Amino acid sequence: MQNREGRLMDRLKRIPVREQDPKVRARNFEEVCCGYSAEEAVAEASRCLNCKNPRCVAHCPVNLQIPAFIAEVARGDFASAARIIARDSSLPAVCGRVCPQETQCEGSCILGVKGEPLAIGRLERFVADWSRENGVSVAEKASSNGHRVAIIGSGPSGLACASDLARLGYDVTIFEMLHKAGGVLQYGIPEFRLPKEKVVAHEIGNVRALGVKIETNVVIGRTVTIDELMDREGFEAVFIGSGAGLPKFMDIPGENLNGVFSANEYLTRSNLMQAYDPASDTPIRIGRHTVVVGGGNVAMDAARTALRLGSEVSIVYRRTEKELPARAEEVHHAKEEGITFRMLTNPVEILGDEKGTVRGLRCIQMELGAPDESGRRSPVPVAGSEFEIEADVVIMALGTSPNPLIAGTTAGLETNRRGCLVADEVGATTRPGVFAGGDAVTGAATVILAMGAGRRAAAAIDSYIQNKA
Ligand SMILES: Cc1cc2nc3c(=O)[nH]c(=O)nc-3n(C[C@H](O)[C@H](O)[C@H](O)COP(=O)(O)OP(=O)(O)OC[C@H]3O[C@@H](n4cnc5c(N)ncnc54)[C@H](O)[C@@H]3O)c2cc1C
Ligand code: SF4
């Protein structure tokens, strides 16, 4: 028997989770994190204090009823936990894997004041995986209310909006320009963090089971316009969740050489066109030495993908490690796997050979100057410090912005100076009946913020249609 202090210590410590060995996983696309067993999940859930005013819920953008589902896990009733989660989220196995919980629910968990916060993300993942493996059905199809809504884009914002509307009885169709649904979940985030068939396809299946239709290979603004959807095809409202898929470049010489990719293109070739599968004949250049430019999560994903494809990899970032925008966990995993980080380094030119193929980068050393408007100290070049790095593949991971196609083909839809759609807090755009949310409005952000925006827009679309009817 432990004494009172011993029990308190246990409550303050997390149940650790198993991960693949870094040396082994650096050469395969299997998931890095192995997840909790049922016993581990029950033990971790039993740490929850079931707070009266749960700070974790207040900091979850989709208001998941965290203590309620955790209590069911602690009792060992995983199916009931899955049903509680399903009221607020159609993507729990996704969110349990990729959400930045450390800055949201877990970041505000009361257990974190004196010890380690509850592992809410790992428990959410456990429940979702367990319910999939045990065939628990969470979809409750509502009876039709006779109103039709179109959703543009099948990423997290579109899927969350569609799910909530379908649960209210709407006849919902998602139009997706790619051949597979899921947005960044499908083409951006790599298999070793988010399995495509097991997790993404299954959770999209749950959305379909609510009655949502998904039409792929339809480019809104080309195949059909928003005006045509509303005026000719009888959709009473439209939600735009078209994301921010347009990559940014540095505007330095050499960016059009063979072997220079945007992270978006590189990851799409690997994920959606299965370049990681030796049996596929996807054109992707596997370098001897790949340099990834950037310090966000996308840079980490591109670097870790290149490593698994067989290249040596370094990441070049113009600030210091302290300012890296990527999640600490992703940086830690990348380092464990053997990726080199070159900090305070900025490319000024990409160098090519006589055939127009990348052979290296000319970089300049940086130092940190005064803080900029984001509060971070600005990197300043050190005069005369230029040097070369060898590379035969360069991946630019410098951020993305929304594609201008939809705004350019829809009258009355305003964008701001960053090319993002202008929408109010519930997603209403400058065009009546047209709502928007997710990265298309905020610029590149997170899965859960996109889902939160999709949910708020679904409520606003419901009141728009009901008040119009
Ligand atoms: C490599 C990478 C890794 C990331 N890792 C994380 C992470 O670990 N955790 C996290 O929380 N976030 C992560 N993010 C960010 C997160 O994935 C996005 O914020 C989120 O997917 C945005 O959702 P969305 O629904 O707004 O857009 P998207 O997911 O971009 O989906 C938009 C969809 O709209 C479709 N579309 C676009 N234009 C049209 C059109 N004209 N007609 C029809 N369809 C159209 C697109 O094909 C796409 O399928 C990552 C992003 C990337 C790129
Ligand atoms: S704040 Fe932490 S301890 Fe409290 S209910 Fe939420 S998860 Fe449980």
| 84: CATH | 1.10.1060.10
Q: Do 45 and 183 share a domain, yes or no?
A: no
pLDDT of residue 11: 86
Query: Helix 156-167 vs helix 447-468: angle between axes, to the nearest 10 degrees?
Result: 40
Q: Pairing between strand 358-371 and 237-240?
A: unpaired
Specify if 253 maps to a domain.
Answer: yes
- The answer to whether residues 17 and 36 touch, using CB atoms and an 8 Å cutoff, is yes
Q: Do 298 and 392 share a domain, yes or no?
A: yes
| pLDDT single digits (tens) 246-257 | 999 999 999 999
Residue where one domain finishes, among candidates 102, 133, 164: 133
E-strand stretches of 209-275: 213-215, 237-240, 246-247, 260-262
Q: Do 264 and 222 share a domain, yes or no?
A: no
Measured in Å, residue 183 CA sits from the centre of ligand 1 at 5
Q: Is the predicted pLDDT of residue 6 greater than 90, yes or no? A: no
Identity at 194, one-letter amino acid code? L
Q: Is the predicted pLDDT of residue 159 greater than 70, yes or no? A: yes
Tell if the pTM clears 0.75, that is, is over it: yes
- The answer to whether residues 401 and 248 touch, using CB atoms and an 8 Å cutoff, is yes
Q: Is the predicted pLDDT of residue 406 greater than 60, yes or no? A: yes
Measured in Å, residue 49 CA sits from the centre of ligand 2 at 6
| pLDDT single digits (tens) 334-379 | 999 999 999 999 999 999 999 999 999 999 999 999 888 878 788 9
Specify if 141 maps to a domain.
Answer: no
**Binding-site residues, ligand 1, Cβ < 6 A:** 98-100, 152-158, 175-178, 183-184, 188-189, 218-221, 241-243, 245, 267, 297-298, 301, 403, 405-406, 438-440, 444-448, 450
Q: What percent of the chain has pLDDT over 70?
A: 97
β-sheet bridge partners, residue 421: 415
Atom of ligand 1 nearest to the CA of 221: 41
Specify if 139 maps to a domain.
Answer: no
Q: Do 43 and 23 share a domain, yes or no?
A: yes
Q: Which residues contact 133 (CB under 8 A, 6 or more apart)?
A: none
Continuous segment of H or E residues that includes residue 320? none
Measured in Å, residue 444 CA sits from the centre of ligand 2 at 29
Task: Ligand 1 pocket test: pick from 98, 105, 184 the residue with the most ligand atoms within 8 Å of its Cβ.
Answer: 184
Indicate which CATH number applies to the domain containing 231. Answer: 3.50.50.60
Q: How confident is the model at residue 2 (pLDDT cuts 50, 70, 90)?
A: very low
Q: Whose CA is nearest to atom 38 of ligand 1?
A: 242
Atom of ligand 1 nearest to the CA of 244: 30
Atom of ligand 1 nearest to the CA of 449: 19
The whole-number average pLDDT for the span 401-406 is: 96
Q: Do 102 and 154 share a domain, yes or no?
A: no
Which-ligand-closest: CA of 175?
1
Q: Do 394 and 405 share a domain, yes or no?
A: no
**How many structural domains does the chain have?**
3
Q: Whose CA is nearest to atom 4 of ligand 2?
A: 51
Q: Do 273 and 387 share a domain, yes or no?
A: yes
The whole-number average pLDDT for the span 6-33 is: 87
Q: Pairing between strand 434-436 and 400-401?
A: unpaired
Q: Give the range of the structural domain holding residue 173, as residue numbers without chain letter.
A: 148-245+401-468
Q: Do 383 and 254 share a domain, yes or no?
A: yes
Distance, CA of 119 to CA of 15 (rounded, Å): 8
Q: Whose CA is nearest to atom 21 of ligand 1?
A: 184
Whether 121 is in the pocket of ligand 2, judged by its Cβ within 6 Å, is no
pLDDT of residue 9: 58
Q: Do 218 and 259 share a domain, yes or no?
A: no
Specify if 32 maps to a domain.
Answer: yes
Task: Ligand 2 pocket test: pick from 15, 111, 123 the residue with the most ligand atoms within 8 Å of its Cβ.
Answer: 111
Residue where one domain finishes, among candidates 100, 133, 166: 133
Q: Pairing between strand 237-240 and 434-436?
A: parallel
E-strand stretches of 2-134: 18-19, 33-35
Specify if 88 maps to a domain.
Answer: yes
Specify if 259 maps to a domain.
Answer: yes
Measured in Å, residue 243 CA sits from the centre of ligand 1 at 5
Atom of ligand 2 nearest to the CA of 57: 6
Q: Do 208 and 253 share a domain, yes or no?
A: no
Q: How confident is the model at residue 394 (pLDDT cuts 50, 70, 90)?
A: very high
Q: Whose CA is nearest to atom 10 of ligand 1?
A: 446
- The answer to whether residues 143 and 102 touch, using CB atoms and an 8 Å cutoff, is no
Least confident of 53-57, 333-337, 417-421, 465-469: 465-469
pLDDT of residue 32: 95
Which-ligand-closest: CA of 176?
1
Atom of ligand 1 nearest to the CA of 184: 29
Measured in Å, residue 416 CA sits from the centre of ligand 1 at 19
Q: Do 437 and 361 share a domain, yes or no?
A: no
Specify if 220 maps to a domain.
Answer: yes
Residue where one domain finishes, among candidates 83, 103, 133: 133
More confident residue, 286 or 282: 286
Specify if 142 maps to a domain.
Answer: no
Q: Do 154 and 212 share a domain, yes or no?
A: yes
Per-residue burial over 299-327, b = 16 or more CB atoms within 10 Å of its CB, e = otherwise: bbbbbbbbbbbebbbbbbbbbbeebbbbb
